[in-house]
Chains A and B, each alone.
Chain A
Amino acid sequence: MADVKDFMSSDPIAWCPGCGDFGILNALKMALVKLGRPPKDILIASGIGQAAKLPHYIKCNCINGLHGRSLSYAAAAKIANRGLTVLVTTGDGDCYGEGGNHFIHNIRRNVDITVIVHNNQIYGLTKGQASPTTDPGYITKVQPQGVILEPIHALEMAIALGAGFVSRGYSANSEHLSSLILEGINHKGFSLVEVLQPCVSFNKKNTYEWYSKRIYKVNDDPAYNPGDFVAAFQKASEWGDKIPIGIIYKAEKASYEEKSGLDQRPPLVEEEIDDIDITGILKGYA
Chain B
Amino acid sequence: MAEELTIKIAGEAGQGMQAISAVLAKAFKKAGLHLFVNNDFMSRIRGGNNFSQLRISVNPVYTLRRKSDITVSMDKESIGLHKSAMADKGTMILDKQKFNITDNAAAFFDVPFYDMAKKAGGSELFANSAACGVVVGITRLDFRYVEDALREIFADKTPEIIKANVDTARLGYDFARSNFKSDIFSVKESKPNGNLLMNGNEAIALGAIRGGCKFYSAYPMSPSTGIMENVSRYAKDFNIIVEQAEDEIAAINMIIGASFAGVRSMCATSGGGFALMVEGLSLSGMLETPIVAVDAQRPAPATGFPTRTEQADLDFLIHAGHGEFARAVFSPGTVEQAFYLTVKAFNLAEKYQIPVLIMTDQHLADSSRDIEVFDLGKAKVERHRISKEDSKKVAGYKRYQLTETGVSPLAVPSWIEDVIYADSDEHTEEGHITEDAKIRVSMVEKRFYKKMALLSREIEEPTGYQIKDADIVLVGFGSTYGAMKEACDTMKDKKVGFVHLSQVWPFPSDHIIKLLKGSKKTATVENNAGAQLAKLIRRSTGIEVNGSILKFDGRPFNLDYLTEKISEVE
List residues of chain A with CB under 8 Å of any chain B CB: 11, 14, 39-41, 43, 45, 48, 53, 55-56, 59-66, 69, 72-81, 83-84, 101-102, 104-105, 109, 260, 262, 265, 268-271, 273-276, 278-279, 281-282, 285-286
Contacts and interface: CB of A to CB of B under 8 A. Distances in A.
Interface string B405-417: 0000000111011
A53 B217 CA distance: 27
B419 A63 contact: no
20 contacts: A11-B432, A56-B421, A63-B287, A64-B425, A64-B433, A66-B280, A73-B253, A76-B217, A76-B256, A76-B261, A77-B261, A77-B413, A83-B414, A84-B414, A268-B214, A268-B215, A268-B239, A274-B212, A275-B380, A286-B195
Contacts of B421: 55-56, 61-62, 64
Given A63-B287, A84-B414, A79 B253 contact: no
Contacts of B247: 101
Contacts of A262: 241
Contact of B423 (A64, A271, A282): A64
Contact of B253 (A14, A69, A276, A285): A69
A69 B280 contact: yes
Contact of B206 (A84, A274, A282): A282
Contact of B202 (A102, A269, A274, A285): A285
Nearest to A285: B196
Contacts of B381: 273-276
Interface in B162-208: 194-198, 202, 206
B255 interface: yes
A112 to B, nearest CB: 14
Given A40-B413, A276-B210, A276-B238, A80 B420 contact: no
A104 B250 CA distance: 12
B439 interface: no
Given A69-B249, A104-B246, A281-B206, A63 B263 contact: no
A271 B256 contact: no
B464 interface: no
A53 to B, nearest CB: 7
| Residue in A80, A109, A281 whose Cβ sees the most chain B Cβ within 10 Å | A80
B383 interface: yes
A104 B245 CA distance: 12
B250 A105 contact: yes
Contacts of B195: 286
Contact of A286 (B196, B245, B383, B388): B196
Given A40-B413, A69-B280, A76 B383 contact: no
B127 interface: no
| B contact residues, range | 35 or more
A80 B425 contact: no
A269 B250 contact: no
Interface string B254-274: 111111111111000000000
B408 to A, nearest CB: 16
A105 B261 contact: no
A123 to B, nearest CB: 18
B261 A43 contact: yes
Interface string B444-485: 000000000000000000000000000000000000000000
B197 A72 contact: no
B373 interface: yes
A265 B215 CA distance: 15
Nearest to B217: A76
| Residue in A65, A76, A274 whose Cβ sees the most chain B Cβ within 10 Å | A76
Contacts of B432: 11, 56
Contacts of B388: 270
A55 B388 CA distance: 25
| Residue in B196, B245, B424 whose Cβ sees the most chain A Cβ within 10 Å | B424
A114 to B, nearest CB: 15
B253 A81 contact: no
B335 to A, nearest CB: 10
Given A53-B433, A76-B255, A76-B257, A271 B214 contact: yes
A196 B381 CA distance: 49
A41 B253 contact: no
A281 B238 CA distance: 11
Nearest first, the 5 closest Cβ-Cβ pairs linking A and B are A73-B257, A273-B212, A76-B257, A72-B253, A80-B261
Given A56-B421, A59-B419, A268-B258, 20 more contacts: A61-B413, A61-B419, A63-B260, A64-B423, A65-B422, A72-B254, A76-B254, A76-B258, A80-B257, A80-B259, A80-B262, A80-B265, A81-B413, A105-B245, A274-B383, A279-B376, A282-B373, A285-B196, A286-B194, A286-B196
A266 to B, nearest CB: 9
Contacts of A55: 421
B197 A285 contact: yes
| Residue in A43, A48, A62 whose Cβ sees the most chain B Cβ within 10 Å | A62
Contacts of A269: 261-263, 412
B262 to A, nearest CB: 4
Contacts of B249: 69, 72, 101-102
A270 B412 CA distance: 11
B433 A260 contact: no
Contacts of A43: 261, 413
| Residue in B237, B241, B418, B421 whose Cβ sees the most chain A Cβ within 10 Å | B421
A62 B420 CA distance: 6
Nearest to A85: B414
A79 B215 contact: yes
Contacts of B246: 101-102, 104-105
B243 interface: yes
Contact of A39 (B209, B419, B423): B419
Nearest to B205: A281
B99 interface: no
Given A56-B433, A62-B431, A81 B263 contact: yes
A62 B422 CA distance: 6
A60 B380 CA distance: 34
Contacts of A273: 211-212, 214, 264, 381
B124 interface: no
B424 A80 contact: no
A65 B416 contact: no
A271 B239 contact: yes
Contact of A41 (B202, B255, B414): B414
| Residue in A105, A265, A281 whose Cβ sees the most chain B Cβ within 10 Å | A281
A79 B287 contact: no
Interface in B385-437: 388, 412-414, 416-425, 431-433
B283 interface: yes
B256 A73 contact: yes
A44 B418 CA distance: 14
B279 interface: yes
B374 interface: yes
B375 to A, nearest CB: 11
A45 B380 CA distance: 33
A158 to B, nearest CB: 16
Interface string B89-104: 0000000000000000
